[in-house]
Amino acid sequence: MVYMTRAQREPAQRERRLVEAVPYLEKAFSVDENDPVNILESGDAFEAAGDLSTRKGCAYYGRALERARQLGPSYSGDQIQWRSNHDC
């Protein structure tokens, strides 16, 4: 996604780019909210946003965790590791 890439490359505009990215992340997720691949990709994107953000990291990690919980029944044998750069 363009906004996520720009957030990574433009530290001075990082928070703004992440805010711009969220509606697109949600729109992409809404295409098929029950598809495990779509859920996983959405969770990964929100985790990346959490890694990049200095102000809203916990909120983005929370959204990633919501997606991970959706995967629970589909991936009952897998373990989800929580990596946070923030004190959430």
At 65, the amino acid letter reads L
- Whole-number Å distance between alpha carbons of 16 and 56: 11
pTM greater than 0.95: no
Q: Which domain holds residue 9?
A: 2-71
6 is a domain residue: yes
78: left (phi over 0), alpha (psi -120 to 50) or beta: beta
Examine residue 87 and state whether it is found in any structural domain, yes or no: no
d(CA 58, CA 12): 20
22: in domain:
yes
- Give residue-wise pLDDT tens across range 13-58: 999 999 999 999 999 999 999 999 999 999 999 999 999 999 999 9
pLDDT score of 75: 58
CA–CA separation, 30 and 25 (whole Å): 9
Position 85 in a domain: no
67 close to 43: Cβ distance less than 8 angstroms: yes
